[in-house]
A and B are shown apart, each in its own frame.
Chain A
């Protein structure tokens, strides 16, 4: 494999609270190449925290430690704010769950995308507008002119999320971190948004980190999957081989999903084994 875009080694995120430390992420390591990497886990597993730590967006009160957190030739852990600002948005960008909360409600969609472009490039407003319209067409918005002049509340959820993708893609970043990008959308719309993301990531050769709680979606969409539990990666496998997963947690998660194809009287439930939260080989 070529030099990875991103290397994360032994990442720890700890929140110091009056009740003692809460260890949200505990020793996560992975490499990201030009691929679609899924991070799956239940709420509180640390998957979103991991994604945010890469952009150094973790809450100020938390302590972030890692042996390595390296993007291309930049050490993200020791980088100053100036360097980080050049990375954020331009080279690594993030798509969040709900476009309603991520877009500025009192600014037209077009101006917001223009701004995303102008912050990172020196270009005239007219050029920016041209690029924005191209980008809106690239995310398959048919009536790009109308959407350019629309305000976020005038758009549907699926349209809003496509606008977000256009905004994140316009500086042509190397890595996109998508945190539950389609969970607020209806299933058919969600698949269409994913197809656009898939197409752009593949065409422009980006690395995608796809954070989701939806196992079957990740299995069908990504190349590789990390399964997180209690702040740790318990298993890594090829997405197409998720059904052959070996870790009891992954197997448990898969088996408690209701199936459309088979009739079962009772769903399997997950019996949590405390040893899953322990590092391998150091359990009691």
Chain B
């Protein structure tokens, strides 16, 4: 579904620029849920943004659904690929009602924007018609993220890009949103590309993942392999162990590695 070959992204001028993504290649199959994990600055979000066309300064080959992509994305691509961002407060217009937020993409794509369509979109994400004329600040964080998911799905996309979709939410709300995303993928056969710093979230949502560090993929592995804690790369093992909480012995080992 998504094929990337030798992707490079450099911000700023060449000699002093930041090489955010280096020679990255990966494949995501149709219907698969694929995770990109890494620490901040590893380039995981940049990869997502380059494929989505939000960054134009990239080199290499990107193809989505068999279509090679250039610097600009066409209308068809924008319908087929939708994105859900980390902070629903930042990604929903604060002075538009939910109704208007959901209608806007339909109007842009000259699709039917009837009352029924909006109510149906709300129901699919576990909300109801009473939400239509509220503003984003009048609903809870979890409900806001449901609206962001509804807005993405109203275009009937086949690919969903999820950029840290639950890291701004409490764990009980996170569980609800992850369940919602899992159900929607099952029902619609969607392909997910999920970016997260949280290994447990990726482990729960994805079948395969790529671990990124300093703009490069250090390892692509199956979640099963992660769960049996048999990753090949020491960096992946380190992230895996760090995700298990505070352990003074492990931290001492981290410090040694940093020095050595």
Contacts and interface: CB of A to CB of B under 8 A. Distances in A.
Given A192-B251, A219-B245, A252-B172, A186 B39 contact: yes
Contacts of B205: 258
B173 to A, nearest CB: 8
Contacts of B204: 258-259, 264, 267
B240 A260 contact: yes
Contact of A195 (B172, B182, B245, B248): B248
Interface string A256-280: 1111111111111110000000000
B141, B205, B240, B248 pick with most chain A CB within 10 angstroms = B248
Contact of A260 (B172, B203, B246, B252): B203
A186 B203 contact: no
B174 A256 contact: yes
Nearest to B141: A43
B227 A256 contact: no
Interface string B10-42: 000000000000000000000000000001100
Contacts of B172: 42, 252-253, 256, 269-270
Nearest to A44: B170
A270 B176 CA distance: 9
Interface stretch (B72-80, B149-157, B193-201): B193-201
Contact of A188 (B201, B239, B245): B239
A261 B227 contact: yes
Interface residues of A, number: 37
A188 B251 CA distance: 8
A90 B254 CA distance: 32
Main secondary structure of the interface of A (DSSP, over half): loop
Contact of B171 (A42, A194, A198, A263): A42
Interface string A118-152: 00000000000000000000001000000000000
B242 A258 contact: no
Interface of B: 39-40, 141, 170-172, 174-176, 178-179, 182, 197, 199-201, 203-205, 226-227, 238-240, 242-248, 250-252, 254-255
Given A186-B39, A191-B254, A258-B175, 4 more contacts: A188-B242, A256-B174, A257-B171, A269-B176
28 contacts: A42-B172, A187-B197, A187-B239, A188-B39, A188-B238, A188-B239, A189-B39, A191-B247, A191-B250, A191-B251, A191-B254, A192-B251, A194-B246, A194-B251, A195-B252, A198-B248, A215-B171, A216-B245, A220-B247, A256-B171, A257-B171, A258-B200, A258-B203, A260-B199, A263-B227, A264-B204, A266-B179, A268-B175
